[in-house]
Structure 1
Amino acid sequence: MKTRLLLTAALLCMGCGEDPEETETLPPRPLSVMTFNVLCSLCGGKEYDPWEERLGYFADIFARHDPDLIGLQELTPLAGEVDALLEAAPGRGALFFEQEGWLPYPDAAIFYRKSRFSVLEQGTYWLSPTPDVPRSTGFADPQLARLVVWARLLDKAGNREMFFASTHFDNNSPSQEKSAPLVLERTAPFAAAMPVVFVGDFNSQPSDPAYATLESAFQNAYDLAPSPGVAENQDPDPVYDPASRIDHVFVAGAGVTWSASSWLADLYVYGSQKRYPSDHFAIVTTLDRQ
Structure 2
Amino acid sequence: MSVSLTVMTFNLHRDCGEEGPHSWETRRDMCLNIVAKYAPTILCTQEGYGHFGLSRKGLNNCSDEHCSIFYNMEQVEQTDGGTFWLSESPSIPASTSWGAAVPCIATWVIFQFKGVEPPGFTFQVVNTHLDKKSPRARRRGALLTWQHITSLPPSLPVLYCGGFNTQKESSVGRFLLGRSREHGVVGDMVDAWASARRRKSSKLVRTYHGFKGEDQGKIEKAKLLLKALLLCWDRRIQDLHVDWVLF
Q: Which band: TM-score by shorter chain? A: 0.7 to 0.9
Q: Determine helix, strand or coil for the equivalent of 2:68.
A: strand
- State the shift of 1:224 in Å: 1.2
Corresponding letter in the other structure for 2:191: N
1:107/1:168 contact within 8 Å kept: no
User: What secondary structure, in the 3-state scheme, does the structure 1 residue paired with 2:52 have?
Assistant: strand
Q: Is the 8 A contact 2:20 2:26 kept in 1?
A: no
Q: Report how many aligned residue pairs link the two structures.
A: 204
**What is the RMSD computed on CA atoms of the aligned residues?**
2.6
Could you say what secondary structure the match of 2:151 adopts? Answer: helix
2:72 to 113, 122, 128: 113
2:195 match: 224
TM-score by length of 2: 0.74
Equivalent in 235, 239, 244 of residue 243 of structure 1 = 239
Please tell me the residue identity of whatever aligns with 1:95. F
Cα pair distance change 1:43/1:212, threshold 3 Å: farther
Deviations 1:213-260 (A, max 9, x none): 11122111012113445189xxx9657965211100000xxxxxxxxx
C-alpha distance in 1 between matches for 2:192 and 2:113: 19
Counterpart of 1:224, as a letter, is S
User: Within the alignment, does 1:171 sit opposite 2:144 as a pair?
Assistant: no
Q: TM-score with structure 1 length normalisation? A: 0.64
Q: Would you say the 8 A contact 1:127–1:139 is kept in 2?
A: no
Judge which range, 156-165 or 57-66, deviates more.
156-165
- Structure 1 distance, partners of 2:54, 2:177, is 27
1:213 paired residue among 167, 171, 175: 175
1-structure distance, mates of 2:53, 2:214:
36
Match in the other structure for 2:36: 63
Q: Which moved more, 1:184-193 or 1:34-43?
A: 184-193
More contact order relative to length (CA 8 Å, sep ≥ 6): 1
| Separation (CA, whole Å) in 2 of partners of 1:227 and 1:100 | 40
CA distance in 2, matches of 1:214, 1:67: 24
The answer to whether the 8 A contact 1:170-1:203 is kept is yes
2:2 is the counterpart of 1:41: no
Q: Quick check: 1:40–1:74 contact (8 Å CA) kept in 2? A: yes
Q: Identity rate of aligned residues, in percent?
A: 22
Q: Which amino acid aligns with 1:205?
A: Q
| Runs of 4+, deviation exceeding 3 Å | 43-47, 98-106, 236-242
